[in-house]
Chain A
Amino acid sequence: MNKLSPFKKNSALTLGVELELQLVNLHNFDLTMESEDFLRRLTEIPHPGELKPEITKSMIELNSSIHFSFPSLIDELYILKNVLSNEAKKTHIGICGGGTHPFQKWKQQRIFPTERFAHVSELYGYLAKQFTVFGQHIHIACPDGDDALYLCHAMAHYLPHFIALSAASPFQQSVDTSFDCSRLAAVSAFPLSGTPPWVLTWEKFEEYFEKMIRLQIIDSMKDFYWDIRPKPEFGTVELRICDTPLTVKKAAELAAYAQALCYWLLETRPVLSRDIYLTYMINKFRAARYGLNAIIVEPGKPQMPLAENILKTCETLKPYAEKLESASALLSIEAATLANTNGAHWLREQYNQSKSFSDVVRQQVELWTK
């Protein structure tokens, strides 16, 4: 029987990110299915972190190393971005961020040839190819499994912040979806998506996991497509809700925001209430639909603009961010919220200027490479 790894205990609140990136044909700016050859080329170039395949051949995943603070994370992400961009130029493909590709046809995508991806494709049919969407995962180290589960639930209130701030997927299949983040719809189609069960101790979580294994619903933790989940082998809590932003700077800032939030939550330990899940889905929807203009709702409180909630949170987190050397990241988050801008706004602006989706992707590539 598959076993759940013991939760790796971490003393420091380190952070790391995973970014799923788009590989683009530089002539028509459609996705190009070249990850196999591109990753082979990248193995020949020394670089920090890790570069991996993803479910379809037009995606790659960039993993940072483990970092203690925002400055070292952003430095490494810039290095990785430069390695990728230089290598991409040599083989004449483009790389860019963004949660979806505006006009790729999912039926044309090809599954990357590994045992796991073949299994996913066999299991989920067309959903596997529709999963050609691009997300950012943020890992924050936790002292133990109980804390990881605490954070999974305590962060539920803040996940809409991450959706709105990272949103960079307004277009899908050549259509303006009217969402700022349309990527999440592709994730929601999976039966094991959503939120983790209301389990607050690692021991209980192990019982839950074993039950799911016995019922033959899952084989491993990887089968849970939750918005946030514990990652026992890393000893982290993993936020999986963000779109891949259009720049590595934004990706690092979001990670720093998550780190400061986790720090504050673990320090102050607000009491958890299961009621958070009464409003979680509607807040998630509104953040995805309206981005920073969303109005969120909390049980027992008046409705509040999401942007206001983010600004309030930033204010609370300032002393924590300073201790974590991420004050500048927090300022950027604050500034973007005040300016009411995210990736989706930028992408729509580009489209309005040219009325061409291929032009939008070209500009995404240029922005990523800058």
Chain B
Amino acid sequence: MTQFLPSFPLHTTPLISFAFILLLGFIAGELVKYTRFLPKIFGYIAIGFLIGPDGLNIVTHSLLVNSKIFIDISLGIILFELGRHLDFSWLRYDRALLPTSITESGLTFVLVFLVLHFFGLSWLQAALGGTIAIATSPAVVMTVAYDLASVGPVTRRTLILTSLNNLFALVIFSFLLPISNAHNLGILNIFMHIFYRLFGSMILVICLLILMKLLARLTGKQKESQFILFLGIVLLTIGIASILNLSTLLTLFILGVAARNFDHEHLLMEVNFGWLARIFFILLFVITGVYLKLGTVSNIIWIALTLIFIRLIAKITGLFFVGKYSRLTKKQSLAISFALTPMAGVAIGMTTMLTDFNPNFGTQLNQIISFVIALLTIIGPVVTQLAFLKTGEAYPMQTEGRYNE
């Protein structure tokens, strides 16, 4: 009689999870718009936190499992885009740009390392903490810049410095990760692991770049076709890197760098992921909010606040002392330093990778870094937005209808 009815209890599908997260994020983002000073990202993260375990706790395990694929795609697009911001020709002509990045990244690493070591973490844990702290959140910087229609030297420099500090973080992380499991792996295995992850990624990138250029040659330089090509290649990279146990983040980043710098025949176009990226970014930020761990023990709060403070000092120092050789004004240096504040997706990715790789390694480090990420995920977008607004590069009135173009 009732065969036509669905079987009970009802089961959620990945599609429902997708729609649920997207719509919640969308509503929160629109509500936040009315504050006029908070970026939309803040709304996405806040709603995620609200439905997460530390909030109303209405997120089911299946929703989180189903959303993993979306997170991977979001991070993939971001890392690929980020890699495309790293243009070697700029580094060649502005000789202070790379030293600026090395200084701000190096200082961040050293200062965070020292603080964590001072608070009792082992040198390896402290080094991993320092490494994760180097990276600025590319998703936040890119989304804020896009939402504000921010264009200009400060925005562009923030993006290339984000690109560089993510590169440093990902490479150092690839070295430190196997060492964190040294007693199980042995020295030879550690080296083989590092070698495999770094060179494996590079070889895969070479193959994918050849494929990409070949297809681009066939399809020509139409925006629509290259959009599909880029997206297809990003998805393929995520898939193959996972199968081969390579770092998807690092591989996609290098692919982006290669697509920017080794396309001498100019076969590839500048593709704007636009609407599609926005959908994935909303998902990413809502899920980031779900994972935020704000409840913590009091002694960690002070360590975390110290880390955030010295991280900012490191970035300001790098920009002021070396950035001046790029002939930046003081206002520009300060704005870039603050704009580099956010930490989110990539840092979470690295922390998760660390826990997955060696679940027994550094519970305290995990707690500290998670709390720092939580704070910087919340404060970061606001600070970045303020930095872009203060330089006069942001022009929020121009954002209407931009995705249609």
Contacts and interface: CB of A to CB of B under 8 A. Distances in A.
B21 to A, nearest CB: 30
A359 B221 contact: yes
Nearest to A105: B405
A354 B94 contact: no
B87 A92 contact: yes
Nearest to B329: A40
Contact of A91 (B151, B153, B266, B398): B153
B197 interface: no
Given A27-B84, A90-B93, A354-B266, 13 more contacts: A27-B85, A28-B272, A29-B270, A32-B152, A33-B151, A40-B329, A44-B327, A90-B326, A91-B153, A108-B149, A355-B220, A358-B270, A359-B221
Nearest to B94: A90
A28 B405 contact: no
Given A40-B329, A108-B398, A34 B153 contact: yes
Interface string B80-99: 00001101011001100000
Interface in B268-300: 269-270, 272
B87 A26 contact: yes
26 contacts: A26-B89, A27-B84, A27-B85, A27-B87, A27-B260, A27-B270, A28-B272, A29-B270, A34-B151, A37-B332, A41-B327, A44-B327, A90-B94, A91-B153, A92-B87, A92-B89, A92-B90, A92-B94, A110-B395, A354-B266, A355-B221, A356-B221, A356-B269, A358-B269, A358-B270, A359-B221
A89 interface: yes
B156 interface: yes
Closest 8 CB pairs of A and B: A28-B270, A356-B221, A92-B90, A89-B93, A37-B153, A90-B94, A90-B93, A27-B270
A362 B84 CA distance: 17
A91 B91 CA distance: 10
A32 B152 CA distance: 7
Contacts of A32: 151-152
B95 to A, nearest CB: 9
Contacts of B87: 26-27, 92
Contact of B266 (A37, A41, A89, A359): A359
- Of the candidates B94, B156, B398, the one having the most CB atoms from chain A within 10 angstroms of its own CB is B156
Contacts of B84: 27
A44 B327 CA distance: 9
Contacts of B392: 36
Size bracket of the B interface: 20 to 34
Interface of A: 25-29, 32-34, 36-37, 40-41, 44, 89-92, 105, 107-108, 110, 354-356, 358-359, 362
Nearest to B85: A27
Interface in B88-146: 89-90, 93-94
Contacts of B85: 27
Contacts of A358: 221, 269-270
Contacts of B260: 27
B129 to A, nearest CB: 33
Contacts of A40: 329
B52 to A, nearest CB: 37
B93 A354 contact: no
Nearest to A58: B151
Nearest to A30: B270
Nearest to B405: A105
B171 to A, nearest CB: 23
Contacts of A91: 94, 153
A25 B89 CA distance: 13
Nearest to A38: B153
